[in-house]
Amino acid sequence: MRFRQHSEFPKTRRGRYTGDIAFDALEVQAWPKGSEFMGHPASLPERRVIWWLLHRAHLTPGVEFEFQAGFLGGRVVRGGLVADFSIYTIAPGYIVLFEVEGTTWHMGRWKEMRDEARRQTLLKFPEVFAVIQLKEVDINASDRSRDETCEMAMRLQEK
């Protein structure tokens, strides 16, 4: 049996080859692609954090953490905010928010300024203890890097 050369397959956006020889190691430890989590679609870095929260931190969805929780009306009211992850087990009686900062929606000077304004607004809520930013480059670098990034976030440290 002859294997096809890589040049016969187009590359995906992340540089992985498509076709029957394609294998994306980032998808192995991620919530399944194409399926919603808690009623919301998730990007690859979000799906990798979901997997970590479920399989490494052993948190219960809907009880110990929420995905895409709304503040100030969330998606319903114009100007509402949506936090990627709300974690309830780190600081008893408070909420710790994890914000996944991807390259698509969060890169660029004005986007960084907007994200900082969002962060300051979220920190004004009395029940919000901290807002931790998780960078896509750290989450998608490798499984070890993702684990380290999430473990640091659980200790209220940013990478």
To the nearest whole percent, how much of the chain has pLDDT over 70?
80
CATH 3.40.1350 fits 28-154, yes or no: yes
Tens digit of pLDDT for each residue in 5-53? 445 555 555 555 445 455 577 888 888 888 899 999 999 999 999 999 9
Secondary structure letter of residue 58 according to DSSP: -
Q: What's the whole-number mean pLDDT along residues 77-105?
A: 88
Q: What is the pLDDT of residue 11?
A: 54
The residue among 9 and 156 whose pLDDT is bigger is: 156
If one compares 20 and 145, the residue with the highest pLDDT of the two is 145
In this structure, the number of other CB atoms found within 10 A of the CB of residue 132 comes to 23
pLDDT at 110 over 60: yes
Rounded (to 5) percent helix, strand, coil in the chain:
35, 20, 45
Pick the closest to residue 141 from 111, 97, 103, 84 (CA basis): 103
At residue 20, the pLDDT reads 46
Structure tokens of 80?
């509402």
Sheet holding 128-135, edge to edge: 65-71, 81-87, 95-101, 128-135
